[in-house]
Amino acid sequence: MNSFESRGVEIRSLAKALVYEFMLTSPQCQANCEGIKLAQMFRECGFDWGPYPKTTSSNQQHWVAAIVQELKSEGKIERISESGPWRLL
């Protein structure tokens, strides 16, 4: 693994930890609560770079979408409905 790959792995790990910590401290993300939409989580975690041509905020959210899928695969969070919000288990 080269230094760029190593740094990328570290950045992904830090980003995932940030999202999980945000969810742990957010009242609406607690188990049996209403949960939070991906777009709101994306903004509140500071991942929005702002509007750019062909790279809107909506496009930028894909990275956070991957993070929540990773947390889901680890059994830490759940998606309440097919298009619904996310919350802790």
Residue 62 and residue 82: Cα distance in Å, rounded?
16
**What ranges do the domains of the chain cover?**
3-88
Model confidence pTM above 0.75: yes
If phi > 0 it is left, if psi is from -120 to 50 it is alpha, else beta; for residue 32 that is left
Q: What's the pLDDT score for residue 84?
A: 85
Neighbour count for residue 66 (Cβ, 10 Å):
13
Per-residue model confidence (pLDDT) at position 41: 97
Looking at domain 3-88, its CATH architecture is Orthogonal Bundle (1.10)
Low-confidence ranges of the chain (pLDDT < 50): none
